[in-house]
Amino acid sequence: MKVYVTGVAGFIGSTLAMRLLKDGVEVSGMDNLNAYYDVRLKERRLERLKTFPGFSFEKMDLAESDRIKKSITSFKPEAIVHLAAQAGVRYSLENPQAYVDSNITGTLNILEACRLHPVKHLIYASTSSVYGIAENMPFSEKNHTSHQLSFYAATKKANEAMAHSYSSLFEIPTTGLRFFTVYGPWGRPDMALFLFTKNILEGKPINVFNHGHHKRDFTYVDDIVESIVRLIPKPPKLNEEWDALHPDPSFSRSPYRIFNIGNSTSVELIDYIHAIEKALGKKAEMNLLPLQKGDVPNTLADCSALEKWTGFRPNTPVETGISNFVKWYREYYQV
């Protein structure tokens, strides 16, 4: 099998590519290796992948429409997993144009490439942030999502709408994945676990927003990858039984699906920090601050649809995932 992965030098993209390559899948990937965070970390991820003969890589930007189309049509993948994006809630307040270029224009270019080379399945990353101000937890894909709190979330909601239009117009099977706070080895340096671990080890204070009282459905990266691997061979199909008078937004008549991928457990941030302290054997000095603009107070995923579709539900305990990350961090940075 041949799978094309965008954002292959990223946290989830590189972890997915590694799993696919170990499973004997031929993987071609692209990434622009931008400087949003440490490029050396991205290059190290790529170095691991390049040890496999079934891996190929092209450095390019999602906005390069012709190059994207040429890359995909020449590789001829059965499936595309589109993970490249401009991530981060807070950065979207500073540089919204970067999110339009990457998340809107970039996703359009992937969809257009799928018109030129019809794939059996296009899987793309959305986010739990699309639930916005909703408080009816656990969040279900059946809930309507019309009130995003950040521009980042708005671009991801737009991706879902764009994918549906291409599924409807051109019968391209698309599956959107709403990730819930992904963490684990080889993670992003701008995310809480990475920042907390770094500062605690260096004896620096950590910024704890909402005084540590907001809750997150922390999802271990290997569980995200396992979900994607199981979804790749299970594309959605046309469904004439979909009821337009009582519409379920998680699917439609078109070959289109939305799935949550979360751990189905909501952990208070302060308890997450205590788990990091335990793994490090060191206490944190905390700056307690109010909730930041754009952040949702709490998240909790209903993953019953994912389990029904794939037979798998993420289940890695936070303590296990944090311990694995700390072990990787100490080895990688020789701390």
- Does residue 321 fall inside a structural domain? no
Render pLDDT for 134-172 as a digit per residue (tens, 0 to 9).
888 899 999 989 899 889 999 999 999 999 999 999 999
Told to judge if 4 belongs to the known catalytic residues of this protein, a careful annotator would answer: no
Averaged over 45-60, what is the pLDDT? 97
Q: What percent of the chain has pLDDT over 70?
A: 100
- Does residue 292 fall inside a structural domain? no
What's the number of CA atoms in the CB half-sphere (13 Å) around residue 116? 18
The catalytic residue among 36, 91, 152, 329 is 152
Tell me how many domains the chain contains: 1
- Does residue 24 fall inside a structural domain? yes
Return the pLDDT at 291. 83
- Does residue 153 fall inside a structural domain? yes
- pTM attached to this predicted model: 0.96
User: What does the mean pLDDT of the chain come to?
Assistant: 95
d(CA 152, CA 158): 10
CATH number, domain of 98, equals: 3.40.50.720
What pairing do the DSSP bridges indicate for beta strands 55-59 and 174-179?
Answer: unpaired
- φ, ψ for residue 174, nearest 5 deg: -125, 140
Q: Where are the alpha helices (DSSP H) in the chain?
A: 11-22, 39-49, 65-75, 91-94, 96-99, 106-116, 151-170, 192-201, 221-231, 269-280, 304-310, 318-333
Helix (H) or strand (E) holding 283: none
- Does residue 101 fall inside a structural domain? yes
Q: Check: CB of residue 152 under 8 Å from CB of residue 88.
A: yes
- Does residue 134 fall inside a structural domain? yes
- Does residue 118 fall inside a structural domain? yes
Return the pLDDT at 134. 86
Q: What percent of the chain has pLDDT over 90?
A: 89
Return the pLDDT at 264. 95
- Does residue 23 fall inside a structural domain? yes
User: pLDDT-derived band of residue 89, with 50, 70 and 90 as boundaries?
Assistant: confident
User: pLDDT-derived band of residue 257, with 50, 70 and 90 as boundaries?
Assistant: very high
Structural domain containing residue 62? 2-187+218-264+301-315
Q: For residue 147, give the nearest of 294, 299, 258 by alpha carbon.
A: 294
- φ, ψ for residue 109, nearest 5 deg: -65, -35
